[in-house]
Structure formats: structure tokens, C-alpha cells
Amino acid sequence: MSRPSTVPTGAGPAGPQIVTIDGPAGSGKSTTAAVVAERLGLRHLDSGALYRALTLALVRNRIPSERWPHLDRGELAALDLRLDPTRGGFEVLLDGAFPGAELRSPGVTEKVSVLARVPEARARLLELQRSAPTYGGVVADGRDMGTVVFPEAPLKVFLTATLRTRARRRLRQDGKEEVPLAVSEESARIHERDSRDEERAVAPLLRPPGALVIDTTELTFEEQVERIVRAAAKALGSAR
């Protein structure tokens, strides 16, 4: 059973209610954001789903990844990608339909980080992300939500955890055993992803100024959710 909203939902005189949750790979952004949004009575905006959907659109159209950095905004805008608001979040529609499991197919997973480094692709998705609050308040998770997409959000959160903790979480999420070799290999993959995210020229992964930084290494999931919900009740209430 979902809990009642902690703060008034939707938009007030100061604008939509927005909470951003950023952090590196495996820090628990999406799962945390979804539950925080439910507790606050807001919609969850999963920016990763948008990046995966645009990647899938390019794959479906047989546009090789070597060409992606050279696509212009018109070519990207011609791809039929939309956000469809639901009761608790958004569905990403591609060619008018929800792509479902295709979003997490190996072919998309392999190439989504390539797309994330393309400035015109980020600009195209920025438009969609910024359109989300027109439907009401959101809890948005990603890697540049508080720095680029919603820098004026009343509450910006940055989640972090040790590398090995994040690796174990990823293995658990994928249903894999947390044996030492698997943890080491996953740690190496996440470290490589961290480096790409932090060093890219456009919208690198940064802690937003004034963000509430939460190290979740020693926290239970419920503890980290409650910490954000309490901060949101104060920040969103004072923003109205």
C-alpha cells in the first residue's frame, strides 16, 4: 500500500515540485527515485529510459553508431520519441508504442553510453526531460538532473556508495552471484563507466551545487528513502 503524499503535489505559485537524484552507476538512483516519487505523490522521471529509447530508435533505423556524433538535431527530432504520463511516472513511447524489454536488450545496453556522449542527442533529450514537469511534480533521476536539466530544483540529491558496494548491487539487480571474481569484474566495469561519465565534454557527472549528498554504503534502502522524503517535505513545502 502506498503512503499518503508528504507534501502537496503538482505545481504551486513557485512552479512544479521537482526533486533531482543524481549519482554514479550502481548508486541506486532509479529504484530510490521511484519509491520517493510514490511517497511524495509525484511522478518518477527515469532519464535512463529516454537514453535507452533514443539508442533503440537509432538501432532500429540501422544508423551505425559511428554516424551518431554527426547526426543533426533535425535527424534526431524526426525519430518518434515521446513521454506519456502515467499515474506514477512516464512511459517512453517509440513509434507510438512502449518498447518494453527491448529497452534493456544487450544491443541497447552496449551502445547507450556511446549515445550519452553525443551533444545533439543530449540536447534532443533535454527538451523531453524539461517537458515532464508540465504534467505536475517529478522526481527525476540521472547523471545531470540537478546540474543541467533542472538546476533550479528545490531539492537536489547526490547519491554515492563505495565502488564494491555498487558492484554488488548491480550483480544482485541482474540476478548474478556476488562471488569475488564477479564483484571485481563488475567493479572494473563501473569504474570505467564512472570515468566516461566524469570526463565527457558535455554534461559530465558532477555533484550539483547545494545538493544533499547521501553515502548509501551503510544505509538500508528504507533509510535512504526516508532521508530524501524528509528533506523533500521541507524543501518543497518552503518552495510553495
CA angle 14, 48, 44 (to 5 degrees): 40
Same fold for the pair 16-42+138-233 and 44-136: yes
Residue 72: pLDDT above 70? yes
Tell the CATH superfamily of the 44-136 domain. P-loop containing nucleotide triphosphate hydrolases (3.40.50.300)
pLDDT digits (tens, 9 = 90+) for 102-130: 998 888 988 998 898 899 999 999 999 99
Give pLDDT, residue 88.
92
Q: Burial, 43: exposed, middle or buried (Cβ in 10 Å; 0-12, 13-18, 19+)?
A: buried
Give pLDDT, residue 201.
66
**Cα–Cα distance between 188 and 183 in angstroms, integer?**
9
Least confident residue range of 63-77, 134-148, 170-184: 170-184
Largest CA distance in the chain: 53
Amino acid residing at 203? A
Q: What is the mean pLDDT of residues 130-146?
A: 95
Residue 21: pLDDT above 80? yes
pLDDT digits (tens, 9 = 90+) for 182-210: 889 999 888 888 787 777 766 777 889 99
**The CA-based dihedral angle spanning residues 27, 178, 52, 143, taken in that order and rounded to the nearest 10 degrees:** 10
Give pLDDT, residue 7.
40
**Cα–Cα distance between 37 and 188 in angstroms, integer?**
31
Element (H, E) at 94: strand 90-94
**Contacting residues for 200 by C-beta, under 8 A, at least 6 apart:** 116, 117
Taking the domains of the chain in order of start, what are their residue ranges? 16-42+138-233, 44-136
Helices (H), 2-71: 29-40, 47-60
Q: How would DSSP label each residue in 113-124?
A: HHHTT-HHHHHH
What band does 239 get if pLDDT is binned at 50, 70 and 90? low
Between these two residues, 68 and 202, which has the higher pLDDT value? 68
Give pLDDT, residue 117.
87
Q: How many other C-beta atoms can be found within 10 angstroms of the C-beta atom of residue 210?
A: 10
Q: Burial, 97: exposed, middle or buried (Cβ in 10 Å; 0-12, 13-18, 19+)?
A: exposed
CATH topology classification for 16-42+138-233 = Rossmann fold (3.40.50)
Least confident residue range of 108-112, 134-138, 173-177, 222-226: 173-177
pTM, whole model, 2 decimals? Answer: 0.84
Q: Tell me the three cell numbers of residue 139.
A: 522526481
User: In percent, how much of the chain has pLDDT > 90?
Assistant: 64
On whether the CB atoms of residues 28 and 159 are closer than 8 A, the answer is: yes
**The CA-based dihedral angle spanning residues 105, 98, 170, 30, taken in that order and rounded to the nearest 10 degrees:** 160
Residue 150 Cα distances to 38, 128, 156, 159, 227, angstroms? 20, 12, 9, 17, 21
Give pLDDT, residue 160.
92
